[in-house]
């Protein structure tokens, strides 16, 4: 570990500028749309305009005859390509519901790919795609997951799975309850919507028998493995390359039909194939998320303790099950209890297909939905018990003394065990910082004067650092250049900077001298990518362990060259010197690397090269925690909601770069505000999507996005990682809908009024009308 | 297919002589036929502003204009913002204030802000918020973009 004497810019805890920024502010980024190969073809997908039906025929003749078109494919042309498999491996119970790259017998949502046109330029491909004629026999359309399930191909029903989790005796607990409080609440269908649409380029090098895909993101190594399984290729003959990525948010970078198609086409058409999605496609083809209805009840004791929680939920999965399988159902049922004790618990998730765009994970999957539901319930319990909403929460929080707190629940194959943390203590700090008591008085006065203003709170715990393992490699060459090679991914979150800061700490160098490699499957065998807030926790720890190993190797070689002991040496600004004499004789890392070359005589019997590779294994995820507080003003004339003030408290364990952590929280909140107030994919009864442009899918602009006040604490470093790191990517969004809904209830003086997000002006006006306000 | 027309696009001071299909958007023309890929497409229907460039010094959504309409006009893109190795005050301010994460919307915000601050060096905070709310960002939550543009406004006033 570095000492105070060699501390310099860009080590752990410094809010330094990002390494990623210079190319991005000068237009030198290399996003997938910016990459071209000689002789490339352009692919355009023909999508179903029908929500559900049997394919009778697809007439491609006019498109094939169109000048500049090289090929038009339907499923018949690639019937040897299997449906897209699950990221975590095959699952026979769900296999039936997977999506083929091109629809085989059925179309199941508007946007379902039915044909692919390959042409010399993108304009031609788009023109020709309009000439493909799809002939469908309509089937009954199912829009709502809480309606009776339908038949699925005569082999199953659209209730693809029932996921149940819980512990304790629900029946007895509810039979003996002092009071039972029940609510019925919905989270709407919305999703990540990164600013860059998806894209993929397939390229096949026949001479070396290597298939390449550019435009990978999020989980390049996992997608390589799935593609290898599907296309029957060895990993050494299949490489995925991540370039700059214009936002991820969980939805980008999963293996989609288009990714498979460009790879297959590159081989079979013998030319590179480029596909760039347009926004209309994106809003009906990329993963949707979130849509759930929960009917949830609490068994409450006389003092406000919630002694049992019983939840039944309907998850709207859309047309197929994509790469995640039932992960969202698992995370929802596994994290619903949140930061509270709830000694008896059951959640039953009806995981159901409908005729809408397939759904999967979006930033804070499962926690975002369940936090809204749970915090709505906490407010309802407060009302039913005539208690203060803060007091009800306090009564039920898991205490520091009970930590680490295990539950018989599973989250992604990991049994939940809360990291030590002081939930009530952070609440005290948060309420004090925001001046909760005074705020309540001010809001009361303003309400007395006729204003509709109110406050609300939402508490949560997060999960991060999903295991089991990750590794990293560091190589220092004889010019002193330091390369850190990881299997992580950069989706815009500042991954390179974070990894460079971690490596710089142990290598005693400026973080700007470190090159970080990510998302290149030909550079490292294994990688976890960037999801589940795991990149900094897992990959960062692996980088730290590797940097320590390389540091030890450098000091060992230097000690011999300088005729001293390794213990007496340290590294400052890329040079090794005596701890006691910083200005005395020194050796640069480049000179030490030179001494360790395979041909070097002074290397002795040391392993060649100044390099290292270490692994980090974690047995449980880390569980950071926090809360959100919102203050809103409602305009009764328009139904509009203005967020006057917003506060986020979060315990990160240990900061790598506080500026970037705050950036994650503020950016996450903007998406949370979108989900709470604006964003929704609605459908007609015929299954037509009504939000396929940015004129209909409304994302917050600067005017609707509050700048939150942030309390970032490092009170409880994680016991699961040597650096104490916990994840930062999702806490900005998790608590948003719950806090905003609670504040709206408070502002309009109608407890429990908000039962559904987004609280659009139309919905809020309806609530006000129904209550004569 | 319509007949191609010969035009000259002046991008960042350099003339590009092109034979364009009249239906090519200005964004596609700049990106695919002049090699300037710093201008990004986010929606192709004029809402998100990622493709904002300056045409005769005014911010324009380059997805809503045809390349042929820009014949003979002076176009500025993000590639022309720095002066050699010296960053434009807006570029510097964006980096110093962590006003970007994925960086995809950044060129559009930079060009929008450049156009506005050049035309109205003394623009008020409220007016600036109005203008900046015409572009979308999905990563930053906007707070740092506001800080960066305000910082650049002060810097550009000093140097002008």
H runs (alpha helix) in A158-292: 170-175, 220-231, 257-269, 279-285
CATH code for the domain of B139: 1.10.150.120
The region, left, alpha or beta by phi > 0 then psi within -120 to 50, assigned to residue A435 is: left
Any B CB within 8 A of A195 CB: yes
Task: List phi, psi (to 5°) of A418.
Answer: -60, 130
Query: What are the structure tokens assigned to A357, written together?
Result: 């765009």
**A174 contacts A299 by C-beta, under 8 angstroms:** yes
Pairwise CA distance, residues A26 & B81, whole Å: 7
Q: Under an 8 A CB cutoff, do B87 and A25 touch?
A: yes
CB contact under 8 A, B146 and A702: yes
Task: Report residue A278 CA to chain centroid gap.
Answer: 22
Is B43 an 8 Å CB contact of chain A? yes
Tell which of B19, B47, B80 closes a domain. B80
A363: contact with B, CB 8 A cutoff: no
How many Cβ atoms from other residues are within 10 Å of residue A233's Cβ? 17
In this complex, the residue of A494, A668, A701 whose CB is nearest that of residue B136 is A701
Rounded distance, CA A485 to CA A474, Å? Answer: 6
What is the interface size between A and B, counted as CB pairs within 8 Å?
A: 167
Residue B74 sits in the same domain as residue B100: no
Best of B139, B145, B148, B151 to disrupt the A interface by mutation (most A CBs within 10 Å)?
Answer: B139
Q: For B136, which residue in chain A has the nearest alpha carbon?
A: A701
Judged by CB atoms closer than 8 Å, whether chains meet at B47 and A244 is answered as no
pLDDT recorded at residue A291: 98
Q: Indicate yes or no: CB of B42 within 8 angstroms of CB of A197.
A: yes
pLDDT tens by residue, B114-140: 999 999 999 999 999 999 999 999 999
CA of residue A638 relative to chain centroid, distance: 34
Whole-angstrom Cα distance, residue A236 to residue A220? 14
Cross-chain Cβ contact A194/B104 below 8 Å: yes
| Distance from C-alpha of B160 to C-alpha of B147, rounded to nearest angstrom | 20
d(CA A448, CA A304): 29
Provide, as residue numbers in chain A, all residues whose Cβ is less than 8 Å from the Cβ of B44: 278-279
Interface of B with A in 119-138 (CB under 8 A): 129-130, 132-138
Please count the other Cβ atoms lying within 10 Å of the Cβ belonging to residue A684: 12
Q: Strand order in A345-353's β-sheet?
A: A159-167, A345-353, A306-318, A292-300, A179-187
Residue ranges of B 61-100 with Cβ closer than 8 A to chain A: 77-79, 81-82, 87, 91, 94-96, 98, 100
Q: SS3 of A336, please? A: coil
* Domain end marker among B23, B50, B80: B80
Q: Which residues contact A516 (CB under 8 A, 6 or more apart)?
A: A19, A484, A486, A495, A496, A499, A500, A503
Indicate yes or no: CB of A703 within 8 angstroms of CB of B95.
no
Question: Do B101 and A701 count as a contact with CB atoms less than 8 A apart?
Answer: no
The whole-angstrom distance between B10's CA and the closest CA on chain A is: 17
Note whether B93 and B122 are within 8 A (CB).
Answer: no
Cα separation, A405 vs A464, whole angstroms: 16
Name the residue among B40, B100, B101 with its Cβ closest to that of A25.
B100
* CB-based contact B82 A244, cutoff 8 Å: no
Residues B75 and B13 in one domain: yes
User: What pLDDT sits at residue A534?
Assistant: 80
Q: Does B4 touch chain A (CB under 8 A)?
A: no
In angstroms, the CA A547 to CA A562 distance is: 22
In this predicted structure, what is the pLDDT of residue A23?
Answer: 98
Nearest by CB: B100 against A21, A27, A703: A21
Q: Which domain holds residue B24?
A: 5-80
CA distance A530 to A327: 16
Enumerate the residues of chain A whose CB falls inside 8 A of the CB of residue B98: 17-18, 659-660, 663
Query: Is B94 found in the same domain as B69?
Result: no
For residue A69, the SS3 value is strand
pTM above 0.95, yes or no: yes
Per CB-CB distance under 8 Å, the chain B contacts of A37 are none
CB contact under 8 Å between B94 and A193, yes or no, is no
How close is the nearest chain A Cα to the Cα of B93, in Å?
Answer: 10
pLDDT along chain A (773 residues), means of 10: 48 94 98 98 98 98 98 98 92 96 97 98 98 97 98 96 98 98 98 98 98 97 96 97 97 97 98 98 98 98 98 98 96 97 98 98 97 98 98 98 94 89 98 98 98 98 87 97 96 94 95 97 93 84 97 98 97 95 94 98 96 93 95 97 98 95 97 98 98 97 97 95 91 97 98 98 97 92
Q: How far away is chain B from the Cα of A209, in angstroms, using its nearest Cα?
A: 30
Q: How far apart are CA B42 and CA B49, in angstroms?
A: 7
In three-state secondary structure terms, A522 is coil
Together in a domain, B130 and B70: no
Contact assessment for residue A709 and residue A628, using Cβ atoms and an 8 Å cutoff: no
Q: Do B39 and A20 touch (CB under 8 A)?
A: no
Q: Whole-angstrom distance between the N-terminal and C-terminal Cα of chain A? A: 63
Question: How confident is the model over B89-106, as pLDDT tens digits?
Answer: 999 999 999 999 999 999
**CA gap A36, B28 in Å, rounded:** 14
Helix (H) / strand (E) element for A419: namely none
Beta-carbon separation of B132 and A702 below 8 A: yes
Q: Which residues does chain B have within 8 Å of residue A729's beta carbon, measured at their own beta carbons?
A: none
Q: Alpha carbon A396 to chain centroid distance?
A: 29
Q: A705-743 b/e with 16+ CB inside 10 Å = b?
A: bbbbebbbbeebbbebbebbbbbbbbbbbbbbbbbbbbb
Cα-based angle B33, B34, B40 (whole degrees, multiple of 5): 90
- B125 with B147, same domain: the answer is yes
Q: How far apart are CA A363 and CA A671, in angstroms?
A: 9
Give the Cα separation of A736 and A192 in Å (integer): 15
DSSP summary character for residue A536: I
pLDDT > 70 fraction of chain B, expressed in percent and rounded: 98
Its sign, for the CA torsion A762, A766, A768, A773, is positive
Residues of A in contact with B139 (CB under 8 A): 195, 247, 492, 663, 667
What CA–CA distances, in Å, run from A184 to A100, A123, A308, A372, A581? 36, 48, 17, 12, 70
Q: How far is CA A123 from CA A200, A278, A696, in A?
A: 17, 12, 25
Phi, psi of A301 (to 5 degrees): -85, 170
Structure tokens at A152: 């699925």
Q: How far is A531 from A716, CA to CA, in rounded Å?
A: 23
Segment (H or E) for A163: strand A159-167
Give per-residue pLDDT as tens, B5-60. 999 999 999 999 999 999 999 999 999 999 999 999 999 999 999 999 999 999 99
> Which pLDDT value is given to residue A486?
97
Give the residue carrying structure tokens 């491609």.
A60
- The nearest CA of chain B is from the CA of A508 a distance in Å of 24
| Domain closes at, from B52, B80, B108 | B80
| Residue B45, domain CATH | 3.10.20.30
B106/A contact by beta carbon, under 8 A: yes
CB A24 within 8 A of CB B106: yes
List of chain A residues whose C-beta atoms are within 8 Å of the C-beta of residue B107: 27
Residues sharing a CB contact under 8 Å with residue A175, sequence separation 6 or more, in sequence order = none
Provide the chain A residues 26-45 that lie in CB contact (below 8 A) with chain B: 26-29, 31, 33-34
- In a shared domain, residues B116 and B149: yes
Q: Domains of chain A by range and CATH?
A: 4-30+468-617 (3.30.365.10), 32-139+197-245+252-285 (3.90.1170.50), 292-465+620-770 (3.30.365.10)
Are the beta carbons of B39 and B107 closer than 8 angstroms?
A: yes
Residues B75 and B21 in one domain: yes
Question: Cβ of A492 under 8 Å from any chain B Cβ?
Answer: yes
Answer yes or no: do A693 and B40 touch at CB < 8 A. no
As a whole number, the mean pLDDT across chain B is 97
Distance CA A590, CA A479 (A): 5
Please answer whether residues B157 and B135 qualify as being in contact, where contact means their C-beta atoms are separated by less than 8 angstroms: no
Q: Are A668 and A694 in contact (CB under 8 A)?
A: no
Distance CA A36, CA A272 (A): 9
- What is the Cβ-side half-sphere exposure of residue A329, based on CA atoms within 13 angstroms? 25
Closest by CA position to A514, among listed A8, A3, A1, A5 = A8
Q: Chain B neighbours among A 603-662 (CB < 8 Å)?
A: 659-660
Asked if residue A48 lies in contact with residue A133, where contact means CB atoms within 8 angstroms, the answer is: no
From CA A292, how far away is CA A756, in angstroms rounded?
Answer: 10
Total of domains in chain B:
2
pLDDT at A88: 86
Judged by CB atoms closer than 8 Å, whether chains meet at A693 and B47 is answered as yes
CA distance B158 to chain A (A): 22
Instruction: Show the CA angle centred on residue B23, arms to residues B43 and B54, nearest 5°.
Output: 60
Residue B160: the pLDDT is 67
Cβ separation A246–B102 shorter than 8 A: yes
Q: Are residues B97 and B142 in the same domain?
A: yes
């Amino acid at each position: 570990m570095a000492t105070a004497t060699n501390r310099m810019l860009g080590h752990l805890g410094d809010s330094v500028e990002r390494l990623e920024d210079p190319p991005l502010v000068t237009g030198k980024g290399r996003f997938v749309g910016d990459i071209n190969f000689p002789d490339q073809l352009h692919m355009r997908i023909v999508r179903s305009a029908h929500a559900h039906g049997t394919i009778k025929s697809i007439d491609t003749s006019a498109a094939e005859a169109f000048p500049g078109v090289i090929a038009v494919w339907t499923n018949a042309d690639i019937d040897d390509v299997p449906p897209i498999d699950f990221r975590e491996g095959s699952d026979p119970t769900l296999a039936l519901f997977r999506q083929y790259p091109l629809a085989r017998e059925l179309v199941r949502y508007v946007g379902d790919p039915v044909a692919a046109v390959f042409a010399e330029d993108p304009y031609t491909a788009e023109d020709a795609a309009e000439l493909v004629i799809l002939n469908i026999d309509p089937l009954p359309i199912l829009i709502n997951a809480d309606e009776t399930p339908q038949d699925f191909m005569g082999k199953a029903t659209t209730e693809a799975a029932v996921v149940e989790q819980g512990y304790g005796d629900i029946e007895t607990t509810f039979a003996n309850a002092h009071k039972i409080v029940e609510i019925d609440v919905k989270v709407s269908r919305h999703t990540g919507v990164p600013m860059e649409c998806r894209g993929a380029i397939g390229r096949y090098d026949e001479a070396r028998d290597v298939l390449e895909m550019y435009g990978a993101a999020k989980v390049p190594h996992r997608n390589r493995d799935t593609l290898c399984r599907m296309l029957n290729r060895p990993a050494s003959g299949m490489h995925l390359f991540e370039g700059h990525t214009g936002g991820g948010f969980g939805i980008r970078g999963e293996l989609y039909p288009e990714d498979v198609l460009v790879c297959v086409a590159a081989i079979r058409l013998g030319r590179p194939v480029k596909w760039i999605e347009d926004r209309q496609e994106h809003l009906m083809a990329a993963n949707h998320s979130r849509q759930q209805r929960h009917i949830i009840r609490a068994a409450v004791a006389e003092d406000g303790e919630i002694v049992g929680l019983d939840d039944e939920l309907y998850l709207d999965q859309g047309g197929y099950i994509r790469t995640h399988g039932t992960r969202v159902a698992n995370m929802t049922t596994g994290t619903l209890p949140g930061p509270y004790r709830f000694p008896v618990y059951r959640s039953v998730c009806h995981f159901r297909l409908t005729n809408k765009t397939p759904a999967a994970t979006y930033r804070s999957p499962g926690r975002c939905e369940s936090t809204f539901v749970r915090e709505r319930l906490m407010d309802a319990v407060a009302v039913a018990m005539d208690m203060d909403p803060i007091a009800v929460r306090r009564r039920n929080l898991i205490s520091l003394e009970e930590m680490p707190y295990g539950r018989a629940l599973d989250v992604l194959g990991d049994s939940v065990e809360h990291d030590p943390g002081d939930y009530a203590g952070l609440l005290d700090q948060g309420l004090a910082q925001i001046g909760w008591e005074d705020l309540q008085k001010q809001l009361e006065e303003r309400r007395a004067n006729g204003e509709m203003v109110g406050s609300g709170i939402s508490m949560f715990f997060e999960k991060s650092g999903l295991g089991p393992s990750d590794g990293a490699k560091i190589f220092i060459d004889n010019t002193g250049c330091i390369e850190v090679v990881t299997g992580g991914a950069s989706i815009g979150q500042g991954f390179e900077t974070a990894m460079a800061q971690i490596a710089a700490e142990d290598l005693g160098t400026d973080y700007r001298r470190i090159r970080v490699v990510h998302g290149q499957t030909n550079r490292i065998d294994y990688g976890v990518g960037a999801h589940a807030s795991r990149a900094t926790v897992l990959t960062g720890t692996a980088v730290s362990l590797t940097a320590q190993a390389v540091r030890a190797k450098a000091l060992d070689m230097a000690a011999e060259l300088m005729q001293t002991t390794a213990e007496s040496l340290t590294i400052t600004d890329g040079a090794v010197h005596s701890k006691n004499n910083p200005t005395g004789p020194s050796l640069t890392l480049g000179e030490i690397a030179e001494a360790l070359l395979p041909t070097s005589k002074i290397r002795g019997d040391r392993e060649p090269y100044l390099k290292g590779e270490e692994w980090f294994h974690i047995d449980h995820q880390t569980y950071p925690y926090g809360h959100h507080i919102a203050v809103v003003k409602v305009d009764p004339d328009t139904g509009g909601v203005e967020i006057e003030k917003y506060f986020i408290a979060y315990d990160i364990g240990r900061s790598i770069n506080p500026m970037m952590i705050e950036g994650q929280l503020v950016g996450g909140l903007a998406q949370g505000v979108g989900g709470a107030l604006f964003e929704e994919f609605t459908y007609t009864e015929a299954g037509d999507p009504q939000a396929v442009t940015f004129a209909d899918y409304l994302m917050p602009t600067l005017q609707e996005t509050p700048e939150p006040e942030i309390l970032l604490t490092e009170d409880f470093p994680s016991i699961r990682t040597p650096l104490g790191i916990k994840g930062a990517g999702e806490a900005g969004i998790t608590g948003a809908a719950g806090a905003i809904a609670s504040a709206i209830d408070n502002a309009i003086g109608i407890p429990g009024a908000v039962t559904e997000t987004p609280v659009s002006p139309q919905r809020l006006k309806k609530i006000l009308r129904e209550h004569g306000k | 297919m319509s007949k191609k027309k010969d035009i000259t696009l002046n991008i960042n001071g350099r003339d590009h002589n092109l034979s364009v299909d009249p239906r090519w958007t200005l964004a596609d023309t700049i990106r695919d036929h002049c090699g300037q890929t710093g201008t990004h497409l986010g929606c192709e229907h004029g809402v998100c502003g990622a493709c904002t460039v300056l045409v005769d010094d005014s911010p324009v959504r380059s997805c809503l204009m045809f390349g042929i309409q820009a014949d003979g006009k002076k176009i500025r893109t993000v590639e022309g913002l720095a002066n050699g190795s010296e960053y434009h005050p807006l570029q510097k301010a964006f980096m110093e204030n962590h006003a970007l994460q994925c960086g995809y919307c950044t060129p559009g915000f930079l060009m929008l802000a450049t156009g506005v601050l050049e035309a109205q060096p003394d623009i008020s905070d409220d007016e600036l918020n109005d203008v900046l709310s015409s572009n979308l960002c999905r990563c930053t939550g906007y707070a740092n973009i506001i800080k960066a543009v305000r910082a650049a406004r002060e810097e550009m006033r000093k140097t002008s």
